[in-house]
Amino acid sequence: MSHLPETRLSLLVRLQDHSNDAWTEFLAIYEQAIVNYSRSRGLQEADAQDVTQEVLAAVTSKVEAWDPDHCRGSFRGWLFRVARNIAVDRIHAQSRQARASGDSRIVQLLAQTPEREEADSEVFWAEYRRKLFHWAAEKIRPEVRETSWQSFWLTSVDGVKPEQAAEQLGVSLGSVYAARFRIIARLREIVSRFDESDDGEDAILKSIRSLS
């Protein structure tokens, strides 16, 4: 199974201390990621929302006891297993109704469950990264001039060549490169406050491209 980068211990400590800011950050990144993951398992929106609330309730009740020195595996790995187990439980519950009603879709989902754990971890990981970088990008955009943001977005996300971006925006080629460099550096700075992994510039750009 792919390694999931660690949530910063400083954030976990703040969650344990009931910091409103920490919980706001946690929900901004994880809540929709869990919803999207649940939907990827074939659950309808209402069921995906229910699964997400169950997962968040589990986090709320367990986070105070989380101790990285004594708990097996990472916090993120634990969170993934909770989300997956609750989603599978929901599919099991629906399958009992599906067999009675002849709904083959849910029965097929249940049949796929044993062989999907690694694929599920990849989906969960992708949704988490997408939300993390979306969150970081939303924090950065108000800090920079619009031409700087467009220079970054055109070249890093949309794949426009720097020369074309400079011509399109009416700025120098040097300013396009400078804006791109500054914003990527700022992205890495903000993300590092939440996530202990340091996957480098390429991983950041790949994650942001998934937003477009």
The pTM for the full model equals 0.66
In tens digits, the chain (212 residues) has pLDDT values of 333 344 555 677 777 777 788 788 888 888 888 888 888 877 888 888 988 888 888 888 877 766 655 555 567 777 777 887 888 777 777 666 555 555 555 445 545 554 556 667 777 777 878 888 888 888 899 999 999 999 999 998 888 999 999 999 999 999 999 999 999 889 888 877 776 554 544 556 556 655 55
Domains annotated on the chain, with CATH: 1-131 (1.10.1740.10), 144-212 (1.10.10)
Long-range (24+ apart) CB contacts under 8 A made by 150-156 are 151/175, 151/176, 151/179, 151/180, 152/179, 152/180, 152/183, 152/184, 155/180, 156/180, 156/183, 156/184, 156/205, 156/208, 156/209
